[in-house]
Amino acid sequence: MKLIILAAGRGSRMGSLTEQIPKCLIVFNGVTLIERQLGVIDSAGITDVAMVTGYKKELLPLTNKVEFYNPDWQDTNILGSLMCADEWLSQEPCIVTYSDIFYQKEALLLLKNSNDNCSITYDPDWLSLWSARFQDPLIDAESFRLDSDSYVLQIGGRVENTFEIEGQFMGLLKLTPSAWQTIKNLPNTERGLRLDKLDITSMLNKLIQGKFARVRALRYDGIWGEVDSSSDLDCYQRQRRLID
C-alpha cells in the first residue's frame, strides 16, 4: 500500500508560526505534526510513502520518501498538489492524507482494508470536537450525509443546523487508479472546471452529485484532530487530544 502526504502549503492561517516553517513542522507536545503522523504511518505497516512538497520543501523530512514537488503551491488548491502525484495514483491504490492532521493507526487500517474505489474516514462524534474548537461549530462544519449503506450523499456544503451533519471528513482518503481516472475526467463534465483550484471535499461532492463515483464513508471513533489555527493547538492542549 502506498501513501501520499500532502504537505505543499504554508498554512497562512497559523500566522507567525509558519513564517519560517511549513505548518506540519509545528512542534506540539515535543513532536512535530509530521513526525507524529509518520510514526502512525509506520505503525500501520505502510512503508511506501511519498510527500507532495512546496513551501520550504528543503525543511521537510524526505529521507526514504518519494518527493513530488508542486511548483505552483501558492496558486493551486489541495487537489492541485494531489495531481503532482499522478504517477503513483495512476498505478495502484493510494491512501492520501493531509499533513496537518493527527490520528491513530486504526484510521489507516480502515482505509487499507476498504475494497471500494473511493473511501474516506469520518468522525461521527464531530460535534464535541467542533464545539471545543469554535464558539459556533457551524462556522466551520460542512454538510455530511450518508445513505443506509454508508455511502456519502452530500459533503462539503455550508449548513444552517447540525441535523444536516452526520459526521465530518477527516482529511484521509483512499483512491484506486479507477477512481483517480474518474477524477481526472471531471473537467470533461463541466465547462471551465479546473481541478487544481478544487479542494478535496468539493471534488468528492462533484463525484457524488454527478453520479460519477460512489464514496464509501468509514466510521472512525479514535483520537484525531486538524490544526487550522493556533487556537486549535490551545484546544488540543486543554483536551490532551494528542496524547494517545
Domains of the chain and any CATH numbers: 2-122+171-239 (3.90.550.10)
Comparing 6-20, 64-78, 188-202, which segment has the lowest mean pLDDT? 6-20
Predicted local distance difference test score (pLDDT) of residue 133: 93
Predicted local distance difference test score (pLDDT) of residue 243: 56
Residue 237 has pLDDT above 90, yes or no: no
Predicted local distance difference test score (pLDDT) of residue 240: 66
Per-residue pLDDT tens over the stretch 123-176: 999 999 999 999 999 999 999 999 999 999 999 999 999 988 999 999 999 999
C-alpha to C-alpha distance for 232 and 227, rounded to whole angstroms: 6
Concatenated DSSP letters of the chain: -EEEEEE----GGGGGGGSSS-GGG-EETTEEHHHHHHHHHHHTT--EEEEEE-TTGGGS--TTSEEEE-TTTTTS-HHHHHHTTHHHHTTS-EEEEESSEEE-HHHHHHHHT--SSEEEEEETTHHHHHHHH-SSGGGT---EEE-TTSBEEEES---SSGGGBS-EEEEEEEE-HHHHHHHHTGGGTSTT--GGG--HHHHHHHHHHTTS---EEEE--S-EEE--SHHHHHHHHHHTTT--
What pTM was computed for the model? 0.96
Predicted local distance difference test score (pLDDT) of residue 238: 80
Distance of CA 229 to CAs 10, 21, 24, 77, 244, Å? 12, 15, 12, 18, 21
Predicted local distance difference test score (pLDDT) of residue 163: 87
